[in-house]
Structure 1
Amino acid sequence: MSIEKYDLVILGSGPAGFSAAMRAIDFNKSVCLIEAKHLGGTGIINGALTSKTMWELSRDFSIASSVKRGYRASGLNVNYKQVQKTIIQAAKQKQLQMLSQIETYSQPNKESGNITLKNGWGKFIDSHTVEITSGSKTEQVHGENFIIATGSRPRQIPEVVIDQERIIDSEGIMGLKEFPERMIILGSGIIGCEFATIFSNYNQTEVHLLDRQHKVIPYEDDDLSSFVSKNLENNGVNIHHTANLRTIRKRPDCLEVVLDYQDGHSKVLEVDVALVAIGRIPNLDNIGLENVGIKTTDRGYLDINEVCATDNFKSCNIFAAGDISGHAQLYSVGELQGRYIVETLYGNLEYPLDYSNMSTLMFFKPEVAAVGLNEKACRKNKIPYRVATYSNSLVNRAVAMRAVDGFIKIIVSDDGEDRILGMRAAGPQASTLITSIAYQITQKGTLKDIRQNVHPHPSISEGVQECLRVFEEKSIYKPKAFPDLIKLKSWKPEV
């Protein structure tokens, strides 16, 4: 049996795998892209695209149903199946775009590389051979280099069986037949809070959120955690702080959820659906790592070096990218790593990989964006800093949008250099605001570098401009007049 040979074989078609495949085409390489489930991986199905589509739809519904804007929509209703249909349409649109590009480059030619998509489960036989299993059929492909980009799956709670009917994880959301009347979300990180926002936005479900600690999003500063928590509660979410799950009992007509609180009391809730959202674990089972001498870390991830190789680059032809790499499980990180590996193999690297400045978007109500260090990180690393906070209620565009619930928070070093260290933004267009500050952090920018930028009026970004002016006591609106809306403080480690 003849074995097909490729320059690059990639396991997984998510953001890491697909971006790597397309970058390899730029270098005129032959690529085999192997996908066991859905083209695009979790980046498209049961993940980033589907959940954010659902969030966008829920936000639209929440705005349409508001009675505080001078109008009232009549006959407004929502159907879960129709919502599902719209979400699937979005996912299919993106998958068809990916397929169209794959087909465009499926035939070898002299001007560019080519790509072959194979559906099935890939498993290493040796360092140059992968076996692909699809149903009862198997085949082998030979590769000069490999990228493992198999992604991740939802983490489970011991002794809680996911049936994807009444006890579900994020992969079961699309399987619901209707909006549940009552739901508990187990986990108060980004994923849990996003789904709490989505279902409470539709106002069809009584939403409970289990928070084992005192505040949601506990790794962020207290002001941001409190902001998110307050807005969830204002949106109708019942947050159970300092509570641990003892058990879930299945009854014929409901689930009985037993919670134990830190102060010693317990509570029993009746819900229709329990959503487990406690993070994700890497997909590394049954891909033949033992056949190529690759071991996982204590946390179950692959240990990669500065160029994402699983061993010394000069003697290694197997690389890893995305959620399995042990770095932040972000779409942007996977995409960055996938492209970087290909440039390592076939191009000239212009800069090293840098994970210190990855922007994060949190799809709450309102949306939240983060980049760089927060106050907790500065204090942990004993970095002296100054921090300014500016409320959206003073930004004309936000006032005009009637969307004043939010703020901009910027941190700079307090060492005489005024380096931009981090930013948190909450409110409309937060995802756009974060980009300019992310660039300044990457370029090691300072207040001096960006203070002369003039922002258009009226725009949300004027809030960034004013927040920067607060550091130099030059803002148009003054902290003395609005002490609850404009704040400036500093911190230095004790000597």
Structure 2
Amino acid sequence: MQSDNIEHFDLVVIGSGPAGFAAAMRAIDFHKKVAIVEEKNLGGAGVFHGALTSKTMWELSADFAVASAVNRGYRASHLTVDYKKVKKTVVNAAKTKQYQMLSQIESFSSSNKIGHGGSLTLIQGHGSFQDAHYLNIETRGEGEKVIYGEYFIIATGSRPRQHPILKTDGHRIVNSDELLGLDRFPERMLIVGSGIIGCEFATIFSNFNQTEVHLLDRAHCVIPFEDKDVSSFVSEGLEKNGVQIHHTANFRTVRKKEDSLDVVLDYEDGHSRVIEVDVILVSIGRVPNTDHLKLENAGLHANERGFLEINNECAMEDFSKCHIFAAGDTTGHKALYCVAEEQGRHIVEAIWGNVAYPLDYSHLPTLMFFKPELASVGMNETQLQEKKIPYRAAYYSNKLVNRAIAMQNTRGFVKIMISDDGKNKILGMRAGGPQASAFITSFAYLLDQNLTVEEVLKNTHPHPSVTEGIQECLRLLMGMSIYKEEVFPEEIKLTEWKP
């Protein structure tokens, strides 16, 4: 298909989330003509209905929980919270980022290019392949148009997975995309799903202390991919915050009444329970947005789960002959903002021959916004045992860390795993408590450098800081911690495992 009125682009990015926007801006660095095709919200789930909005809600809820605390020497009187005003703050946070993105898009538009020599065009509408180089777009208000792309990046993200029985209606049965549609705090809420997203929203709504929160956990523990002690730490925090966790419970049915919902739960031991709630939040994972791209017209196909299988360059076929790539949640790799962003940038660097280093998914830090927050990087004990890697693990409680004591926020820990092969290589860390999300990145760097405990202990941590818990945990592994396991057996623990 050829036509003089079809605009040609060096790169067409389908989706404006973290993968798509990062890729587009990296292509500008190479002086390329770029189009971003976005069907819904600019920024994708990374900005709206995802990372930014949920973390804004978490920050607001955490502030409210601190303000309403009565065990810190002060008491705030007449403290109230309005869900509509919370929503407005959350939406304003998302709009702040969207307008930053729009400012950059307009600055690099074809009519107003600055500095770099490339150009950026935002086309709002739904894109689907006409063939391997032409994209058909159903635009918003401008009818259909076709554009040509020398290269394509599919970065269409993901959406909440539908429950096989619970059909969302946006009012009483909702998913995470629909929470901002509520007009008030529900008096009672059931969250179906005890993974990261479910536990984060359980934390948020229990922090605000306006909602009776129930959490449905089909297994024996929340966050089931983590070690039992870490999972228990999360469960205890949720329960301390007022969340009622229904372990080993399966959802059977919901009976809708005029002003509430009756939910029937069946438990592993055979008994059943009926609970009354006002809202059900379905949080059972996400599925990729690849089903309306008409991939077959470009000679491509998603796998049976809807994901786009990619190679080391994020290409969907042999890199030497490929011009269609994929990044972010569509690829089935770990669904993290940082992964999507790095993949998007890496694709552009691979296309135009400027790859500084290969993509490495082995030491990805993960943040989980509970109460308190939880951070992880590297392997945990379960993974090490599955791989039959001998290790030693040390656990050091924040109850012994001076900064945490000063903050009156000692619920937390540092847990570090190292190799038990005479080399003492650092293998992974889990940390819970204040500022855990801030210092996990520095520990990820230690893993990337393949350092030993002895090498890391050359550095001295400032006092008072929460990272002194890391220092003491490493000293503990070498048998030279200041505080001893024999005196504080609940706060300090050492374990070792060999296959």
Q: TM-score, normalised by structure 1?
A: 0.98
8 Å contact kept, 2:133–2:298: no
Q: Deviations over 1:99-123 (max 9, x none)?
A: 1111111135674311000000011
How is 1:361-376 mapped onto 2 (pairs within 5 angstroms)?
361-376=367-382
How is 1:161-310 mapped onto 2 (pairs within 5 angstroms)?
161-310=167-316
Decide which of 127, 130, 133 is 1:122's aligned counterpart: 127
Decide which of 22, 26, 50 is 2:25's aligned counterpart: 22
Measured in 1, the distance between the counterparts of 2:159 and 2:248 equals 26
Q: Structure 1 residue runs of 4+, over 6 Å off? A: none
Unaligned runs of 5+ in 2: none
Measured in 2, the distance between the counterparts of 1:191 and 1:324 equals 18
- Secondary structure of residue in 2 paired with 1:133: strand
Q: Deviations over 1:371-415 (max 9, x none)?
A: 000000000000000101110011000000000000000101111
Decide which of 46, 50, 54 is 1:47's aligned counterpart: 50
- Secondary structure of residue in 2 paired with 1:55: helix
Measured in 2, the distance between the counterparts of 1:438 and 1:263 equals 42
- Secondary structure of residue in 2 paired with 1:21: helix
Q: Deviations over 1:107-161 (max 9, x none)?
A: 3567431100000001111111101102460101111100000000000111221
Question: Equivalent residue for 2:136?
Answer: 131
Say whether 1:385 aligns with 2:391. yes
Measured in 1, the distance between the counterparts of 2:31 and 2:371 equals 45
Bigger shift: residues 473-482 or 190-199: 473-482
Decide which of 484, 494, 497 is 1:491's aligned counterpart: 497
Question: Equivalent residue for 1:4?
Answer: 7
Q: Note closer, same or farther for the CA distance 1:439–1:110 as it changes in structure 2 (3 Å cut).
A: closer
Q: CA deviation at 1:162?
A: 0.6
Q: CA deviation at 1:476?
A: 1.1
Question: Equivalent residue for 1:34?
Answer: 37
Measured in 1, the distance between the counterparts of 2:93 and 2:424 equals 43
Say whether 1:475 aligns with 2:478. no
Question: Equivalent residue for 2:59?
Answer: 56
8 Å contact kept, 1:186–1:278: yes
Amino acid at match of 2:134: T
Q: CA deviation at 1:422?
A: 0.4
8 Å contact kept, 2:413–2:433: yes
Q: CA deviation at 1:55?
A: 0.3
Measured in 2, the distance between the counterparts of 1:225 and 1:394 equals 21
Bigger shift: residues 375-384 or 293-302: 293-302
Q: CA deviation at 1:348?
A: 2.1
Question: Equivalent residue for 2:156?
Answer: 150
Q: Note closer, same or farther for the CA distance 1:181–1:126 as it changes in structure 2 (3 Å cut).
A: same
Q: CA deviation at 1:298?
A: 2.4
8 Å contact kept, 1:425–1:433: no
Q: Deviations over 1:163-219 (max 9, x none)?
A: 010000001110000000000000000000000000000000000000000000011
Amino acid at match of 2:401: V
Measured in 2, the distance between the counterparts of 1:90 and 1:437 equals 29
8 Å contact kept, 1:55–1:363: yes
Question: Equivalent residue for 2:83?
Answer: 80
Measured in 2, the distance between the counterparts of 1:109 and 1:340 equals 23
8 Å contact kept, 1:214–1:241: yes
Measured in 2, the distance between the counterparts of 1:294 and 1:419 equals 42
Measured in 1, the distance between the counterparts of 2:69 and 2:341 equals 38
Measured in 1, the distance between the counterparts of 2:365 and 2:114 equals 38
Measured in 2, the distance between the counterparts of 1:185 and 1:443 equals 40
Q: CA deviation at 1:294?
A: 1.2
Q: Note closer, same or farther for the CA distance 1:75–1:489 as it changes in structure 2 (3 Å cut).
A: same
Amino acid at match of 1:8: L
Say whether 1:412 aligns with 2:415. no
Measured in 2, the distance between the counterparts of 1:440 and 1:297 equals 36
8 Å contact kept, 2:28–2:116: no
8 Å contact kept, 2:399–2:412: yes
8 Å contact kept, 2:174–2:280: yes
Measured in 1, the distance between the counterparts of 2:216 and 2:115 equals 57
Decide which of 355, 359, 363 is 1:349's aligned counterpart: 355
- Secondary structure of residue in 1 paired with 2:130: strand
Amino acid at match of 2:119: N
Q: Note closer, same or farther for the CA distance 1:25–1:135 as it changes in structure 2 (3 Å cut).
A: closer
Amino acid at match of 2:123: K
Amino acid at match of 1:177: D
Q: TM-score, normalised by structure 2?
A: 0.98
8 Å contact kept, 1:187–1:277: yes
8 Å contact kept, 2:29–2:116: no
Amino acid at match of 2:358: P
Amino acid at match of 2:379: L
Q: Deviations over 1:267-319 (max 9, x none)?
A: 11110000000000000121110101211122221110111000111111000
Measured in 1, the distance between the counterparts of 2:436 and 2:33 equals 40
Say whether 1:328 aligns with 2:334. yes
- Secondary structure of residue in 2 paired with 1:158: coil
Amino acid at match of 2:132: S
Question: Equivalent residue for 2:452?
Answer: 446
Measured in 1, the distance between the counterparts of 2:194 and 2:297 equals 39
Bigger shift: residues 131-140 or 463-472: 131-140
Unaligned runs of 5+ in 1: none
Q: CA deviation at 1:86?
A: 0.6
